[in-house]
Amino acid sequence: MAPPRDITSSLPANTPDRQREPIASPYMPRYPDPMSNISNFKIIETTLREGEQFANAFFDTKTKVAIAKALDAIGVDYIELTSPAASEQSRNDCRVISSLGLKAKVLTHVRCHMDDVRLAIDTGVDGVNVVMGTSSYLREFSHGKSMEYITARAIEVINFVKSKGLEVRFSTEDSFRSDLVDLLAIYKAVDKVGVHRVGIADTVGCADPRQVYEFVKTLRSVVSCDIECHFHNDTGCAIANAYTALEAGATHIDTTVLGIGERNGITPLGGLLARMYTADRAYVMNKYTLPSIRDVENLVAEEVDIGVPFNNYVTGFCAFTHKAGIHAKAILNNPSTYEILKPEDFGVSRYVSIGHRLTGWNAVKNRIEQLKLTDLTDDDAKAVTQKIKELADIRPLNLDNVDVLLRRYHTAKKTSQHIDVLHGINNPDELVAVTVAA
């Protein structure tokens, strides 16, 4: 995290000094919204429900158990499972995962229907998440029910689940295309009968952060229960919407590993944790085991037959790779110049790329120090850098190529032939390490 702004010099000499809190960006508010939960939120991890709706996904029981345990190792607060009404195997999986003794609470996601709810309770889950579509699109083209019917069924289901001692959430579906007056009426009705959480779902990914803030802030003013938010990523706002929802008073955010889910998926777990880390590093690091993110991402990526994207939050291979010479110099002097996240906090490493025409001599000097070629000077680093740039106009050099060049230069300098070595190399393919036969 970047150091706090030093504004002492701009204060009059007689102004009493006051403690200033470190902030991640000078553009972030110094004092958060009074309703904000950016330092007090919970994650409902739904890879084993929403993630099963990803095009490539098929999780057998063994895989679901492995994913559930990996998510539990990170410290997510809840794990949500596919409805037991979906299939016999889904019902069995709910029973198996509910019996694992995880620290996370186990939930299942079902329709707002008594038959589904009875099946859910019989599996031994800790809570039931019920949902029903409320937009005009879904009411006309999906279930065909009125808001009065939806409200009556929601109250019936909530009372039944509570009578069994389980946690219960009621969510509307397609919330951002539903009538606000209708939504507030049903949320107030279920809050009155003691629902634990109400849910907002941006089912088609149409919402933007401003809409989310206003919606959640309004809802927060009319209900006393917790507020859960589920954001699809069709238009690229899922993480921003989740963060904004927490600022406005939401308490729970739905995520999946790598953001997989229906269509383009939802808020990614790793991306949300990276965003929240910048807001309150201590809270996130104390609550969640960040180095375990990479393990569960690799596991899920393999199971759904995709690669972890190159630009994935935190764990993509480019996430902490620095290339431009000006960037590399600054990073080597102080990583905070071009990094808002500390890679070591997430169990990953920083890499300074040097085998290209954008490289700078400070990055090459750093590699010289790593190789312990201590008698090479700054002028030597500059000379080798110019040769790297020349060769990289033909093709980029890999790290082995750079190391061969540096070692040849270092050896030749002992006999004052180092300049000749540089002049004698005209193609990156000449920089091949010699392997000594055993």
Active site residues: 327
Structure tokens at 80: 């949500």
CB 200 within 8 A of CB 230: yes
Q: Which amino acid makes up residue 146?
A: S
CA distances from 353 to 235, 320, 388 (A): 32, 10, 12
B/e letters for 405-437, b = 16+ CB within 10 Å, e = fewer, are bbebbbebbeeeebeebbeebeebeebeeeeee
Q: How many residues does the chain have?
A: 438
CB 304 within 8 A of CB 56: yes
Query: If DSSP states are collapsed to H, E and C, what string results for the chain?
Result: CCCCCCCHHHCCCCCCCCCCCCCCCCCCCCCCCCCCCCCCCEEEECCCCCHHHCCCCCCCHHHHHHHHHHHHHHCCCEEEECCCCCCHHHHHHHHHHHCCCCCCEEEEEEECCHHHHHHHHHCCCCEEEEEEECCHHHHHHCCCCCHHHHHHHHHHHHHHHHHCCCEEEEEEECHHHCCHHHHHHHHHHHHHCCCCEEEEEECCCCCCHHHHHHHHHHHHCCCCCEEEEEEECCCCCHHHHHHHHHHHCCCEEEEEHHHCCCCCCECEHHHHHHHHHHHCHHHHHHHCCHHHHHHHHHHHHHHCCCCCCCCCCCCCCCCCEECCHHHHHHHHHCHHHCCCCCHHHHCCCCEECCCCCCCCHHHHHHHHHHCCCCCCCHHHHHHHHHHHHHHHCCCCCCHHHHHHHHHHHHHHHCCCCHHHHHHHCCCHHHCCCCCCCC
Cα torsion for 345, 266, 219, 287, to the nearest 10°?
-20
